[in-house]
């Protein structure tokens, strides 16, 4: 067989060299290591000469871009694990459930708030049948707020006034100011409208209206005989 090219070089000790030779018409499976004496010198010079060196086999190390310091960083590919060696993910993942309940109790003197937090965790294991473990935690927080006592002399209000709407409370609390404001308004209008309005005519009209109302009420609700006899005895 005739050698085609030299692929690699190695030393066997005491200056002995061997070359990995590719044979003419053969593939990579026929490559063999041969002593330097059995390899033609022209093929060895072609392998050793710069610029004509045959490329070596690609290694599994892949160089990346140089860093700031000028040093090259390399990354080595890790052999992928076989599917049989991969760890299978756990099938039964723990589930957690929580429930929160709040109870409020209000009294005239205090206010009590009770908060209960219940959490439940279920863990299932599929290695030997199905095993369920339940962990229950309960946490109760109770807070109490005391109400300040009511001053009966200053802060207390009668029952009829508490039930009134806001407008009613406002007028009942400021009735003195309303009366004063009404009187001042009437006096001011009497001076302003003195020459434009006949107050005597208005007064006469109101008096006649009042008398007509009295006569109408008397005709609708006549007086009883007992009232008449009492009135006649009083006149005697």
- pLDDT band of 189, cuts 50, 70, 90: confident
User: If you average pLDDT over residues 121-136, what whole number do you get?
Assistant: 52
Q: Is there a contact between 98 and 119 (Cβ–Cβ < 8 Å)?
A: yes
Q: Is there a contact between 112 and 105 (Cβ–Cβ < 8 Å)?
A: yes
Place of tokens 């005697």: 236
Q: Is there a contact between 21 and 6 (Cβ–Cβ < 8 Å)?
A: yes
pLDDT digit string, tens, across residues 139-187: 566 666 665 555 444 455 556 555 655 555 555 567 888 999 999 998 8
- pLDDT band of 209, cuts 50, 70, 90: very high
Please enumerate in sequence order all residues whose Cβ is within 8 A of that of 136, keeping only pairs 6 or more positions apart, or say none: 118, 119, 120
User: 6 exposed, middle or buried (CB, 10 Å; 0-12, 13-18, 19+)?
Assistant: buried
All domains in the chain, ordered by first residue:
3-48 (2.40.50.40), 95-146 (3.30.1040), 159-220 (no CATH)
Strand 16-23's sheet: what is its strand order? 3-13, 16-23, 32-35
DSSP 60: S
pLDDT digit string, tens, across residues 55-83: 555 545 454 444 455 554 555 555 555 55
pTM (predicted TM-score): 0.23
Please enumerate in sequence order all residues whose Cβ is within 8 A of that of 120, keeping only pairs 6 or more positions apart, or say none: 96, 97, 98, 99, 134, 135, 136
Per-residue pLDDT, 142 = 65
């Amino acid at each position: 067989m005739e050698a085609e090219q030299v692929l690699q070089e190695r030393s066997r000790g005491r200056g002995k060299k061997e070359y990995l030779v590719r044979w003419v018409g053969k593939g990579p499976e026929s490559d063999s290591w041969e002593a330097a004496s059995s390899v033609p010198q022209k093929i060895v010079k072609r392998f050793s000469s710069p610029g004509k060196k045959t490329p070596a086999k690609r290694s599994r190390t892949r160089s990346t871009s140089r860093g700031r310091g000028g040093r090259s960083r390399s990354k080595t590919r890790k052999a992928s694990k076989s599917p049989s060696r991969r760890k299978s993910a756990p099938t039964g993942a723990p589930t957690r459930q929580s429930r929160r309940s709040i109870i409020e109790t209000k009294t005239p003197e205090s206010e009590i708030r009770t908060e209960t937090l219940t959490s439940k965790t279920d863990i299932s294991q599929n290695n030997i049948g199905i095993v369920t473990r339940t962990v229950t935690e309960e946490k109760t927080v109770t807070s109490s707020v005391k109400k300040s006592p009511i001053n009966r002399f200053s802060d207390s209000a009668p029952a009829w006034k508490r039930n009134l709407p806001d407008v009613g409370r406002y007028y009942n609390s400021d009735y003195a100011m309303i009366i004063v404001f009404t009187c001042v308004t009437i006096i001011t209008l009497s001076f302003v409208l003195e020459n434009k309005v006949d107050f005597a005519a208005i007064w006469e009209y109101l008096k006649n209206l009042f008398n007509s109302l009295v006569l109408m009420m008397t005709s609708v609700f006549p007086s009883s005989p007992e009232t008449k006899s009492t009135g006649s005895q009083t006149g005697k």
